[in-house]
Structure 1
Amino acid sequence: MSAGIALVANGFRGFARYLGAVMGADAYAKYLEHHRAAGHQEVPLSEREFWRDRTDRQDSNPQGRCC
């Protein structure tokens, strides 16, 4: 029985990760990963600064979005 629950829980976590990726919830993590990989010397934006900058850019340059 616990194997079935674990299987359902894993499926739910996978779906939650997928949905988060579609919605852009993982954008800050991807930004940090890119920042590290690109070897930037400056300190990365804080999470708050990142989301503010992203929102400002989307507002000033609207593109096809669902919402």
Structure 2
Amino acid sequence: MRAVRTAWWWTGSLMGDHDYSRYVEHLRRNHPDAEVPTEREYWKARYADADANPGARCC
């Protein structure tokens, strides 16, 4: 059962399931004054920015 959970977590990581939570942690740690976007806003901005400028990243 532990192996199944690990595989499920690993697959989710590859698919980007944990990206929003990591982004929120990053904002709170490195940009405490920044407004935290909703998860929907995060994904919308991520795909819009990736299409416009694939090399753009925060920090």
Q: Same fold (TM over 0.5)?
A: yes
Indicate if the aligned counterparts of 2:27 and 2:34 stay in contact, CA closer than 8 A.
no
Question: TM-score, normalised to structure 2's length?
Answer: 0.78
Aligned CA RMSD, in angstroms, stands at: 1.6
Q: CA deviation at 1:40?
A: 2.1
Label 1:20 to 1:43 Cα distance change in 2 as closer, same or farther (>3 A): same
Question: TM-score, normalised to structure 1's length?
Answer: 0.70
The residue aligned with 2:35 is 43
Runs of 4+ in 1 over 6 A off after TM superposition: none
Aligned residues: 55
Q: CA deviation at 1:49?
A: 0.4
Consecutive unaligned residues in structure 1, runs of 5 or more: 1-8
* Identity over aligned pairs, percent: 31
